[in-house]
């Protein structure tokens, strides 16, 4: 490529243009692109599945560390550099999926956000707003999730979180056990996630069930077994979910043309849906047991494992037991605890450990000797010995002694195998991957 000054898509500020001419990197497009490619390469860890922590500040380091992703975002989206972005995108594709993902989460002009302008809001949460949308290129209604992008250098960086979620969704593209991502990208205001629309969430489905537990138990057990099988897929691919609850499980009708009346009818006790795991904003991709742990709080408070809850306390420097040399983290065993909480939520519709008084909740979950299952919890599951046995098997405070997912699935089949013998095999979903 010839050595020429980059022609901007719109006139540049004269002062900026004068300063720009003093810097040799701007006088050669190939050199400029190589510098950007180098930065993108350095931003990824050696396994290309995560953003290097050394290049962005954590919440505790805000204002004390250079926020490289934010600086890069400002640079690549400046009018003076817009001409290079299509070329950078093509080079990123040649560098691999990880670099391509970084570029798509950084460069505004690569995403056609106008396609999703006509949308209707469904729900707003702490981490984004969800809309329904029927773009001109699609015959079906899609889900569009909008996440606010950082506007200032000292805002909490989102690149790692977004990169992580897109990595997981793209890794399981086409798998019916995982929510399907169709497109994503960013503009000045938002990160857009365009996804398949599912019939409902497990939470909404469970809230509409009015029959007694005894009548619904086989279907509830089948549903939880299906989730256990889907979670094995994540274990095999070294992904920790860290936020397993009914709200984050979606339901897909077994037939595309199934009417609502049939889908919601549970009176016959047979499943009308398959389960789909969703919402990976708190999840973590790891490479080995050496880096499976997270050292920040992730997930919903009342389903957190004791070690996850203890992370914040361990990092509090004012605590008398604070030790800067000790790293308290949560790994894949944390998902087993949350799965037990999910099991109880499916059976009863309630959080197992919910308490209005936070210190009481904290003590019950983390302090040895405190009852894991209270009498009212046992009463809500009809004092069913198999249910109680599985909950006690999974809800072990010490993560070192908590059962693995494989052991949990074996225990589940031992306790409920006879009950589920008339149902479809629960592992067919994972076999289709």
Q: How many CB atoms lie within 10 A of CB 265?
A: 11
What's the CA gap between 181 and 143, in Å, rounded? 9
What's the CA gap between 428 and 226, in Å, rounded? 9
Q: Identify the DSSP state of 382.
A: T
SS3 237: coil
Report CA 40 to chain centroid distance, whole Å. Answer: 23
Nearest-10 Cα torsion for 234, 232, 395, 421: 150
Return the structure tokens found at 20: 């720009």
Judge whether 209 and 266 are in contact, CB under 8 Å.
yes
For residue 182, report the phi and psi dihedrals to the nearest 5 degrees.
-95, -35
Report CA 137 to chain centroid distance, whole Å. Answer: 27
Phi/psi class of residue 179: alpha, beta or left (left: φ > 0; alpha: ψ in -120 to 50)? beta
For residue 330, report the phi and psi dihedrals to the nearest 5 degrees.
-130, 135
Among 13, 155, 236, 243, the one annotated catalytic? 243
Catalytic residue check, 243: yes
Q: List, by residue number, the catalytic residues.
A: 243
């Amino acid at each position: 490529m010839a050595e020429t000054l980059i022609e901007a898509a719109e006139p540049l500020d004269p002062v900026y243009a004068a300063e720009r001419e003093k810097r040799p990197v701007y006088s050669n497009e190939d050199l400029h692109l190589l510098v950007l490619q180098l930065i993108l390469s350095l931003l990824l860890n050696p396994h290309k599945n995560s953003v290097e922590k050394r290049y962005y500040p954590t919440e505790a380091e805000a204002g004390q560390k250079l926020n490289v992703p934010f600086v890069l975002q400002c640079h690549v989206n400046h009018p003076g550099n817009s001409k290079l972005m299509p070329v950078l995108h093509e080079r990123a594709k040649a560098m691999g999926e990880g670099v391509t993902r970084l570029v798509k989460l950084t460069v505004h002009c690569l995403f056609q956000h106008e396609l999703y302008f006509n949308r209707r809001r469904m729900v707003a949460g702490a981490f984004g707003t969800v809309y329904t949308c029927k773009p001109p290129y699609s015959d079906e209604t899609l889900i569009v999730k909008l996440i606010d992008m950082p506007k200032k250098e000292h805002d909490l960086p989102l690149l790692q979180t977004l990169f992580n979620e897109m990595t997981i969704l793209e890794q399981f593209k086409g798998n019916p056990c995982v929510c399907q991502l169709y497109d994503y990208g960013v503009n000045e205001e938002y990160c857009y996630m365009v996804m398949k629309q599912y019939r409902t969430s497990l939470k909404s489905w469970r809230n509409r069930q009015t029959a007694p537990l005894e009548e619904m138990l086989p279907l509830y057990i089948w549903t939880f077994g299906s989730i256990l099988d889907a979670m094995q897929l994540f274990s095999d691919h070294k992904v920790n979910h860290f936020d397993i609850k009914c709200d984050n499980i979606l339901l897909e009708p077994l037939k595309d043309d199934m009417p609502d009346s049939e889908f919601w009818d549970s009176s016959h006790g047979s499943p009308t849906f398959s389960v789909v795991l969703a919402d990976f904003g708190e999840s973590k991709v790891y490479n080995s047991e050496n880096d499976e742990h997270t050292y920040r709080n992730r997930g919903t408070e009342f389903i957190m494992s004791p070690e996850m809850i203890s992370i914040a306390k361990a990092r509090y420097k004012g605590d008398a037991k604070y030790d800067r040399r000790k790293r308290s983290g949560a790994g894949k065993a944390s998902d087993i605890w949350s799965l037990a909480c999910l099991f109880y939520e499916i059976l009863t519709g309630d959080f197992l450990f919910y308490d209005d008084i936070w210190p009481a909740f904290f003590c019950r979950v983390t302090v040895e000797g405190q009852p894991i299952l209270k009498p009212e919890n046992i009463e809500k599951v009809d004092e069913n010995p198999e249910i109680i046995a599985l909950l006690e098997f999974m809800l072990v405070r010490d993560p070192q002694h908590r059962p693995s997912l494989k052991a949990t699935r074996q225990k589940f089949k031992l306790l409920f195998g006879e009950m589920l013998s008339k149902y479809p095999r629960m592992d067919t979903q994972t076999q289709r991957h």
